[in-house]
Amino acid sequence: MAKDNILKGGEFLIKETKAADVFIPEDFSEEQVMIAQTCNDFLESFVYPNLDRIDNQEEGLMKHLLQKSGELGLLAISIPSEYEGFDQSFVTSMIASEYMGAGYSFSVAYSAHTGIGSLPITYYGNDFQKQKYLPSLGSGALTSAYCLTEPNAGSDANAGKTKAVLSEDGKHYILNGQKMWITNGGFADVMVVFAKIDNDRVLSAFIVERAYPGIVFNPEEKKMGIKGSSTVQIFFNDCKVPVENLLGNRGEGFRIALNILHMGRIKLGGTVLGAAKRAITQSVNYANERRQFGKQIAEFGAIKYKLAEQVIKTWVTESSVYRVGQCIDDTIEKLKEEGLPKGKANIEGIADYAIEAAFLKVFGSEALSYIVDEAVQIFGGMGFSSETSVERAYRDSRINRIFEGTNEINRMLVIDTTIKRALKEGFDVKEYSKSILKELEEEQSDIPQCYYAEKHHYVKNFKKAALLLLGEISEVFQRNLTNEQEILFNISDIIMQAYASESALLRLEKLEGIKGVEAVAIYRDIVDVFIYDAADIIQKCGKDAINSFVDEEEHRIKLIDHINYLAKVKPVNVKEARRRIANKLIEDNFYNF
Tell the burial category of 66 from Cβ atoms under 10 Å away from its Cβ (0-12, 13-18, 19+).
buried
Residues 6+ apart with CB under 8 A from 588: 284
Residue 223: CB atoms within 10 Å:
16
DSSP letter (8 states) at residue 368 = H
Round to whole Å and give the CA distance between 74 and 98: 13
DSSP letter (8 states) at residue 44 = I
DSSP letter (8 states) at residue 251 = T
Round to whole Å and give the CA distance between 400 and 394: 11
Q: Counting runs of H as helices and runs of E as strands, what totals does the chain give?
A: 19, 10
Residue of 150, 356, 404, 502 marked catalytic: 404
Q: Pairing mode, if any, of strands 215-217 and 190-197?
A: unpaired
| 404 carries an active-site annotation | yes
Q: Helix, strand or coil for residue 223?
A: coil
Round to whole Å and give the CA distance between 407 and 518: 39
Partner residues linked to 242 by β-bridges: 172
Round to whole Å and give the CA distance between 413 and 407: 10
Residue 442: CB atoms within 10 Å:
7
Q: Pairing mode, if any, of strands 163-166 and 190-197?
A: parallel
Catalytic residues: 404
